[in-house]
A = this chain, B = another copy of it.
Amino acid sequence: MNEIEKEQTVSANERMILDIVRRSKGLARSAIAGQTNLTQQSVHRIIDHLVKLEFLQLGEPIIQGRGQPSPHVSLNPEAFFSIGVSLNTDDMSVSLVNFCGETLLEENIPFAPVKRLETQAWLKALLERWCQQNPSIESRIVGVGFAMTGYFIKEKGHIRPPDPLFDWSGVDLQAELEALLGWPVILINNATTGAIGEAFHGAGLTYQTFGYLSFNFGFGGGIVIDGEPFFGAYGNAGEIGRIFTTEEAPQRPALSMLIKALARQGIDVPSVAKLKTQFDPTWPGVAEWVEQTTPYFLRAINALRGVIDPDAIVLGGEIPKSLAHMLLDSLERCGMTSSQDISVWPQMIVSELKGDSATLGAALQPLRQTFFRK
């Protein structure tokens, strides 16, 4: 490199300023100091440093009122890159994001990712191809966020996925992937990465503390506290499926259950992904399913309210937007009754993010962790 060597250590105040720039998607340099507890001069110097490191870039001065115009500050999208992987029962997707968190490349595995080594070989080959086709990125990749479905267990780096992914259990997956890929790997539950995507690009821009409910083949969730994803003791925080007993599980709002209900009505939806694209709220069975699952949905919400009392609850995962709104309407009709005081409710939000938020969040986590507010 003939450029300035990129330090990957960023001080707390530098991170704070990077996060302010990120959240506002670029702003006048002079508008930053007011959002910090630093003086204008300190902010000036910090930004100067971050520009020298090529983390930030200065644009045209903006004339907004009196006084000397202040240059526009924005993230340098090329400063760093990060890779996200999301592994589901029947699918795996991989993406590359830039320093702004924008997805540049995305690809799905062409076979079911049930065999661990076969899947890893495909992943390795894909990333090598990406690096060859984009030679500038290789040295600037900060790490890999690897999201998968399943519960973390006591052994560090191990996960217990659902049955079809049995081959992925019993190994220190984090260590294995780091050895394979040569980058730092963060292993995360894929409901939490959905929440991370939301924290970076969605509800997180408005709310500091929120719960994320991930409607997929199963029903899970993630937690964001003060803008940071919360993992809990073993990384299973937000795995709200735990509140249902074995008998109750079939009635929880998992999309697999809706697909079954639709099948009983003669409507064949082959996968959760297809459900998202083809969903029609007037299909027979949909209204009934919503009605029937609402008490269990409410219970999940009340678990979030009772335990963390969030600012907001975001409905995400792979749920069709119109279905999410049906669930919220049904909740209203139920009167949102709980046994106790019901006066303070979190904001209920349907996720606005495009694409696979689990893969996105997985890719964002290495970036967040290294460069943005902690």
Contact = CB atoms under 8 A, between A and B. Distances in A.
A341 interface: yes
B243 A243 contact: yes
Contact of A341 (B160, B230, B237): B160
A241 B340 CA distance: 7
Contacts of A209: 232-233
A223 B310 CA distance: 13
A248 B298 CA distance: 14
Is the contact region of chain A dominated by helix, strand, or loop, or is it mixed? loop
Given A151-B341, A225-B225, A346 B307 contact: no
A221 B235 CA distance: 22
Given A232-B310, A343-B160, A346-B233, A242 B154 contact: no
A339 B307 contact: no
Interface of A: 150-154, 160, 209, 211, 221, 223, 225, 230-246, 248-249, 252, 295, 299, 302-311, 337-341, 343-344, 346
B343 A151 contact: yes
Nearest to A152: B344
A249 B302 CA distance: 14
A247 B221 CA distance: 27
A237, A295, A305, A306 interface centre (most CB from chain B within 10 Å): A306
| The 9 residue pairs across chains A and B that have the minimum distance between CB atoms | A232-B309, A242-B306, A249-B339, A307-B307, A303-B303, A151-B341, A236-B309, A237-B309, A233-B311
Nearest to A244: B339
Contacts of A241: 306, 339-340
